[in-house]
Amino acid sequence: MSTHRSAFELAHRAAWFKSSYSDQTGAHCVEVANLLPARVAVRDSKLPHGPALTLPPEAFVSFVAHMKSA
């Protein structure tokens, strides 16, 4: 089994929570899940069975910083 497949499977079985950066109206919600100490997953809450972006923790920190500045 490839690492990509494993991350994909973990993302769909993960315990997701709504990010504090989400829009409070529910129109723009982001969910986050800690997969393992080495991966963080991000997805659109309106597409719970859709794709999830999986990142190492350092890249997730950069991702959040970029989104804050956008």
Q: One digit per residue, pLDDT tens: the chain, 70 residues?
A: 344 556 666 666 778 888 766 666 666 688 888 877 788 888 888 888 888 888 898 998 998 899 888 7
Which SS3 state, helix, strand or coil, does residue 28 take? coil
pLDDT score, position 35? 75
Q: Cα–Cα distance between 47 and 25 in angstroms, integer?
A: 16
Q: Cα–Cα distance between 68 and 70 in angstroms, integer?
A: 6
Any idea where the domains of the chain sit in the sequence?
3-69
The two three-digit tokens of residue 63, written as one number: 């991702």
pLDDT score, position 1? 39
pLDDT score, position 42? 87
Q: Model pTM?
A: 0.67
